[in-house]
Structure 1
Amino acid sequence: MQDENRTPARLDDLDRKILRALQTDAGQSLEEIARQVGSSKTPVWNRIRKMREAGVIGASTVVLDPQALGLEACFFVLIRTSEHEADWQRRFLATLRARPEVQEAHRLAGDIDYILKVRVANARAYDVFYQALISEVRVFNVTALLSMEELKSETALPV
């Protein structure tokens, strides 16, 4: 989640080149990153360290293939609620955080209050998720939309 009070980091061209290289493959060596961005290892390492300290770079991870793991169904779940009290919101957030199927969750402006991206094996697994969700928190309306085909999915940000 984002910190609304954080000011954007000031990045120069070399910082942006380093970030693009890391987003392409965070597992590559420091030597390879330095070669790609046209610098030496020490300044690149120092810049990466400073960007980590500033919160520009978070945890390093790997991208897994959901199909290869048997998670073939991706649902976008639209939630409307008549509950807007702080206690309900805390329970809802705790419920979402406890469910590994929820890859993303957003609070929205407009007629829909929340949208979730839920990755599961199939429709039956989605129903298990749905039943667990509504047993934890009260919601007014839930609409699940099955993604038929993922046309684009990026983890890299435009820097």
Structure 2
Amino acid sequence: MTHTLDNTDRAILELLQKDCTLSVSEIGERVNLSSTPCWRRIQRLEQEGFVQRRVALLDPEKLNVGVTVFVAIKTNQHNEKWFKKFADVVSTIPQIVEFYRMSGENDYLLRVVVPDIKAYDAVYRRLIRDVELFDVSSSFAMEQLKYTTALPLDYA
């Protein structure tokens, strides 16, 4: 059973989105709870799926994957067998970090991170080798103006 979030739950989620390494006592202090009730709330938020996992965000430049490519894909194959193969191929390519099924002109959108154009070309060649695609259009991000993993909590 999923509970409705109250202001304290939202405050806890906001803190966890910014820094999941905060201790329970630090979070509790910031939301005016003692450690035990704060820990129970965090446990409930995790059990109910509000918190899917806790991760570290890495620096793409330091890891030599500072080039972001958005890849718009069109297909003339709209069947389960083709989609399963496409999804399986995408899941095996670590440079593809996001994968969306879209409405509108493009069927799918991928976000790819690589060190350079040559590395992107290897990803592109692997995609077209392993999956039949109708059209692939790639756009290289020139500058990242906003990036966050924090979700808005206003609607929760």
| TM-score, normalised via structure 1 length | 0.93
Name the % identity.
Answer: 37
Unaligned runs of 5+ in 2: none
What is the aligned residue count?
153
Residue aligning to 1:50: 44
**Residues 65-113 of structure 1 deviation map (CA, whole Å, 9 limit, x = unaligned):** 1011111210000000001110000011111111111111111111110
2:2/2:48 contact within 8 Å kept: no
1:9/1:56 contact within 8 Å kept: no
Residue aligning to 1:151: 145
Describe the SS at the equivalent of 1:35. helix
Residue aligning to 1:35: 29
For 1:57, give the aligned amino acid.
Answer: V
CA RMSD of aligned residues (A): 1.2
Q: 1:9–1:145: structure 2 CA closer, same or farther, 3 Å change rule?
A: farther
Give yes or no for the alignment of 1:113 onto 2:107: yes
Residue aligning to 1:141: 135
The 1-side partners of 2:3 and 2:108 are apart by 29
2:96/2:113 contact within 8 Å kept: yes
Describe the SS at the equivalent of 1:46. helix
The 1-side partners of 2:90 and 2:37 are apart by 40
Unaligned runs of 5+ in 1: 1-6
Q: 1:77–1:8: structure 2 CA closer, same or farther, 3 Å change rule?
A: farther
Residue aligning to 1:83: 77
Describe the SS at the equivalent of 1:111. coil
Residue aligning to 1:11: 5
2:74/2:136 contact within 8 Å kept: yes
Structure 1's consecutive aligned runs of 4 or more residues displaced over 3 angstroms after TM superposition are none
For 2:152, give the aligned amino acid.
Answer: P
